[in-house]
Amino acid sequence: MKDIRPGYSHKYGENEPAASPLSVITLSQQYGCAGDWIAVQLAARLRWQCVNHEIVGRVAQWLGVTVEEAEQHNLRLYSFVERFLLSMQLSYPETVEALAGQPTLPILPHRQERLYHKALQHVVESIAASGQKVIVDHGAQALLAGRPNVLHVQIVAPLMQRVRRVMQREQLSQQQALAQVQQRDQQMQHYLWSQCRRDINDPLLYDLTINSGSLDVEGQLGMICQAYERKAALFREAMADQVYLIYPAPEMAAEAYTLTS
């Protein structure tokens, strides 16, 4: 452990477990920001693993369902009618079950939605526990919020820039791409609020927010790596402070004894 405190004794702290380094970065993105590519490049630079689409597969395995079934739950956007029926379910389950049989009203039971969220939380926390991971989307910024050994990054961009990127990538008209971008934004915002009670646009969810519209890939990677290094240094310092308080250096302990004798 690095000696950063005057009077800190390695002898007294050598049997303590070493402080874990900053070992996880969550990268959340607005749809159409190409954050997936940034995450892959970041993981390669850190020699970590980038975890993204395989999360749904692991959730499906944990639930014992197919990947296609799990995909139906992933960031699902409910219509007003579906949200109304879901809110009724707890009070009037018989009515909702009857309505659920109607082909014009496909609904996802509230319990299934909560079960998927719990499975997702389990998977994301398990991935984070293994360390050295860049986790892309899937609400990881909220599921791992408040952890000192996690860096939370958000990638944003102007709306029309995102629309143009989606147009080019998926061969859509401007109107189609705009509708798709707006729908995905709603999906992500709704999911994070309904399951985690967190606002996706809350700046306190993130350690760093980058406007990819004004920086190239190298500039974005540089900012993330710099933020990672600074937060890792602060984390190590905080852990060293805790060890120092538990195990003061012998000369300081002797001084304290003299003063109190």
Q: What is the DSSP string of 149-164?
A: TEEEEEEE--HHHHHH
What CA–CA distance (Å, rounded) separates 241 from 88? Answer: 51
The two three-digit tokens of residue 3, written as one number: 């000696």
Which parts of the chain fold into alpha helices (H)?
A: 10-13, 35-46, 54-63, 67-73, 80-89, 93-100, 110-130, 140-143, 159-170, 174-196, 217-246, 250-260
* pLDDT for the residue 20: 44
DSSP state of 214: S
pLDDT at 136: 96
pLDDT at 84 over 60: no
Position 104 pLDDT exceeds 90: no
d(CA 131, CA 126): 9
Instruction: Provide mean pLDDT across the span 89-96.
Output: 47
| pLDDT for the residue 251 | 52
pLDDT band at 3 (very low <50, low <70, confident <90, very high): very low
What is the topology classification, in CATH, of domain 26-211? Rossmann fold (3.40.50)
* pLDDT tens, position by position, 12-62: 233 333 444 789 999 999 999 989 999 999 999 999 999 998 998 888 888
User: Which of helix, strand or coil describes residue 230?
Assistant: helix
Give residue 73's pLDDT. 66
Is there a contact between 150 and 53 (Cβ–Cβ < 8 Å)? no
Rg, the chain, Cα only: 23
Domain ranges of the chain: 26-211
List of long-range contacts for 119-128, beta carbons under 8 Å, 24+ apart:
119/59, 119/62, 119/63, 120/55, 120/59, 122/62, 123/55, 123/58, 123/59, 123/62, 124/55, 127/51, 127/55, 127/58, 128/23, 128/24
Region 170-194: what's the mean pLDDT? 91
Cα 108 from Cα 59, distance rounded (Å): 17
Place of tokens 């992500």: 188
pLDDT at residue number 65: 77
